[in-house]
Amino acid sequence: MNKRQTRLFAGAATAVSALVFLVLTIDSHRQFGKLTNADNITPAVSRGKDIWHAKNCINCHTLFGEGAYYAPDLTKITQLRGNTYLEAFLRDPSKFYDEAKYRRVMPAQNLSDTEILDLIAFLDWVSKVDNQGWPPRPILVAGATIPGTDRTVAQQQSVAATSNTQAATAGSVSTADDPVALGQALFNSVSPSCNACHSIAPGVNMVGPSLAGVSARAQQIISSHAYKGQAKDVAGYIRESIHDPSAYVVTGASYSANGISFMPNTYGQSLKPEQLDYLAAYLGSLK
């Protein structure tokens, strides 16, 4: 090849590639509306997007896996956590994660209640964008899909040993603390700990069923004929399931037999009523 030919090659290669790219761009625009549910971009979603930018969220978190790698991905966060949880978290993240334990925590962003709702509306829109099914498995913020894998045997034993004190502490902190945050702490620290048998990741059923989406299921259960318990609402159902596990049994070889749940029935005595409320608040906030 002489220089003229190579110049022609460079020019033609660039022109053809650019042309194909532009055609595909036009076609992508044709599909953006449907893939991203553009009709659902309400003023609240737009305001939420502006807050996302103004607070520089992308330089710690990722969205669609893009951003910085210092904080969890939030693409599907609203499909794992309900509004109650996210609102409480955004009001004061330090209530939910201990910086001393995790070595990092989200700084408080001083958002107003409306701003928080707008931000959640934006994140909810993001979670529904058709993005080729990514992530292939849910990305959890903390804990483990299979509970226990985040701790060594020794750590788990020491948690069990101190769980009563921790539960007592969690129950006695001031009422200004958020019940959802307190519930999250109790979930991992009561004895025996809830997470020994229940995952909060969708579809991960262990000795006990996954508690992801428990509030939606509870709603269906209490309105069905098969339900014979006392609960009138989701929080009531969750409280009842904790202190009286056999009031309604979920069928499954490892869950129950002959109408008796395998779950320990000791929580009614070991937990204070307000602790049951905290757990109900936390579990009710899972989606």
Partner 1 sequence: MRYKSQSVAYWYFAAAMVLFGLQLVFGLLSATKYLGPDPLINLLPFDVTKVIHTNLLIVWVLTGFMGATYWLVPEESRTEIHSVKLAYIQLGLWLLMGVTAVIGYLFGYGAGNKLLEQPIPHKITIVVVMLMFLYNVGMTIKKSGRFTTTEGVLLLGLGSAALLYLPALLHYSNYTVSIYYRWWTIHLWVEGVWEMIQGGFLAYLLIRLTGADREVMEKWLYVIVGLVFIAGILGTAHHYYWVGVPAYWLPIGGIFSALEPVALVGMAIYAYSALRRSGLAHPNKLALHWTLGSAVFTLFGAGLLGFAHTFPSVNKWTHGTLITAMHGHAAFYGAYAMIVLAMIVYALPSITGRKEGGSAAGYWSFWLQLGGMFGMTLSFATAGIGQVYLERILGLGYLDTQLKIQVHFLMLIATASIFTVGVVLFIYDFFRHAPRFHLEPEDDDLKDRPTGNLRAETDPVKYG
Nearer to partner 1, 103 or 225 (CB): 103
Least distance to partner 1, CB of residue 260, Å:
31
Q: Could you say which of 23, 53, 161, 164 contacts partner 1 (CB under 8 A)? A: 53
Residues in the chain: 287
Cα 74 to Cα 51, 58, 59, 67, 257: the distances in Å are 15, 10, 13, 10, 39
Nearer to partner 1, 59 or 162 (CB): 59
Q: CA–CA separation, 152 vs 273, rounded Å? A: 31
Least distance to partner 1, CB of residue 69, Å:
5
**Which of these ranges, 99-107, 189-197, 250-258, 275-283, lies near partner 1 under the rule CB under 8 A?**
99-107
Residue 73 pairs with which residues in a beta bridge? 62
Nearer to partner 1, 158 or 164 (CB): 158
Nearer to partner 1, 26 or 253 (CB): 26
Nearer to partner 1, 150 or 274 (CB): 150
> Per-residue x/- marks for partner 1, 170-209, CB under 8 A?
-------------------------------x--x-----
Q: Is 260 in the site for partner 1 (CB under 8 A)?
A: no
Contact 44, 118 (CB under 8 A): yes
Strands 260-261 and 62-63: unpaired
Dihedral over Cα of 62, 47, 202, 130: its sign? negative
Contact 269, 167 (CB under 8 A): no
Q: CA–CA separation, 13 vs 6, rounded Å? A: 10
Q: CA–CA separation, 285 vs 287, rounded Å? A: 6
Q: CA–CA separation, 76 vs 36, rounded Å? A: 14
Token pair of 131, please?
């993005």
Decide: helix, strand or coil at residue 274. helix
Least distance to partner 1, CB of residue 249, Å:
27
Q: Could you say which of 44, 46, 244, 255 contacts partner 1 (CB under 8 A)? A: 46
Q: Is 73 in the site for partner 1 (CB under 8 A)?
A: yes
Nearer to partner 1, 28 or 230 (CB): 28
Q: Is 243 in the site for partner 1 (CB under 8 A)?
A: no
106-125 residues in contact with partner 1 (CB under 8 A) are 107, 122, 125
Token pair of 265, please?
């029935």
Residue type, 208: G
Neighbours of 160 (CB within 10 A): 15
Nearer to partner 1, 30 or 228 (CB): 30
126-165 residues in contact with partner 1 (CB under 8 A) are 126, 129-132, 134-146, 149-150
Number of residues that bind partner 1 (CB under 8 A): 81
Token pair of 217, please?
């299921």
> Per-residue x/- marks for partner 1, 203-222, CB under 8 A?
-x------------------
Least distance to partner 1, CB of residue 272, Å:
28
Residue 193 C-alpha from the chain's centroid:
19
**Which of these ranges, 51-59, 215-223, 227-235, 238-246, lies near partner 1 under the rule CB under 8 A?**
51-59
